[in-house]
Amino acid sequence: MKTGRKATIVSISMAPRPIEKIIPVLEKEAAGDGDLLLLPETCTGNEPILKIDGSEIKQVSAIAKKYGKYIVFPAYRCTEKIKRINSSIFFNREGEIIGMYDKVYPYWSEFDSNPPVVPGDEAPVFETDFGRIGFAICFDANFPEVWKRLSLKKAELVLWSSAYSAGTSLQAHAINHNYAIISSTWSPDCLFYDITGKEIFYGKGEDVAVFRNEVDLDRCVFHTNFNTERRDKLLREKAGEIEMDSVFEKESWFTLRAIKPGVSAKALAKEYGLEELSAYKLRSQTEIDKMRGYRFAGKTLM
């Protein structure tokens, strides 16, 4: 039996191609192990621009429902009012669209498309049966605003679909916001950074490259500030249920994970009064800004 809230993310990395060449790959991988299938940015190419009630969407929906898998399907889509949006379309295990992320920072050439792309302005987070999922797309990797919004909405895993690999740009976001990041790209390759920014996996293939990574969304990271005595009490009283699986001396961080089925590290940590690192940093910023008399955002300190 699995401990924590573990899920297997299947990254299907490949260059864009027609939907009739994507569907057999998607169906084959959906029939295998995994909880969520992730495809790369605009996986069907610049054309066609998909309609939500179109045949392409219906085919992906049918696979999600048939095999009971979440699917992230990035493509150009349109609405009655907007002619091109670069989106990650998110299907649940029943084949229903439960949300979409629209790329906030399209690449320069996307504005030269005919019709030109229209940027998104939200960074939503979605509940799944294993955790809170957010998305970003390609050029978003260069802009902290999207990643900060995902953190404020308490994303536990960010799935990044892209044309390129980004590398340590993604690692920086994982370090700063303490959520896991898994990618799918045209390269075709896949990166997996954990909640501390540690590179857990990198794989690269040819043509169609498929990578399966298990992520535990119950694992959590803390600063030692104000947490040490509570942590030690927790580890004493819940030995055999939870463990401190890593210590980062230079950062003054540590991580906790459940080692007994049915136990949640996050729930026990909360019960014992431990504050997770992302929450601690946000609370510290908010309270210190109040004492300073203004928020730092948009200000210059002299």
On whether both 132 and 212 belong to a single domain, the answer is yes
Is 20 inside a domain boundary? yes
Q: Return the closest-CA partner of residue 224 out of 244, 182, 259, 253.
A: 253
Range of the domain at 209: 6-216
Contacts of 46 (CB under 8 A, 6+ apart): 16, 76, 113
State the total domains in the chain: 2
Is 301 inside a domain boundary? no
Is 300 inside a domain boundary? no
On whether both 26 and 140 belong to a single domain, the answer is yes
On whether both 157 and 194 belong to a single domain, the answer is yes
Q: Is the pLDDT reported for residue 297 higher than 70?
A: no
On whether both 226 and 142 belong to a single domain, the answer is no
pTM for the structure as a whole: 0.95
Domain boundary among 159, 184, 216: 216
Domain boundary among 184, 216, 248: 216
Task: Name the pLDDT band for 290 (thresholds 50, 70, 90).
Answer: confident
- What is the per-residue pLDDT for 33? 97
Q: Return the closest-CA partner of residue 187 out of 166, 170, 173.
A: 166
DSSP letter string, 187-248? SSEEEEE-TTS-EEEEEE-SSSEEEEEEEETT-EEEESTTTHHHHHHHHHHTTTTEEEEEEE
Is 150 inside a domain boundary? yes
Backbone angles phi, psi at 234, to 5 degrees: -60, -45
User: By 3-state DSSP, what share of the chain in percent is helix, strand and coil, each rounded to 5?
Assistant: 30, 30, 40
Count how many residues are written for the chain: 302
On whether both 139 and 53 belong to a single domain, the answer is yes
Q: Is the pLDDT reported for residue 250 higher than 80?
A: yes
Q: Return the closest-CA partner of residue 174 out of 136, 213, 120.
A: 136
On whether both 209 and 258 belong to a single domain, the answer is no
* Average predicted confidence (pLDDT) for the chain: 95
- The pLDDT of 210-231, averaged and rounded, is 98
Domain boundary among 193, 216, 239: 216
Q: Is the pLDDT reported for residue 217 higher than 80?
A: yes
For residue 129 the two structure tokens come to: 């049966």
Is 295 inside a domain boundary? no
- The pLDDT of 172-181, averaged and rounded, is 98
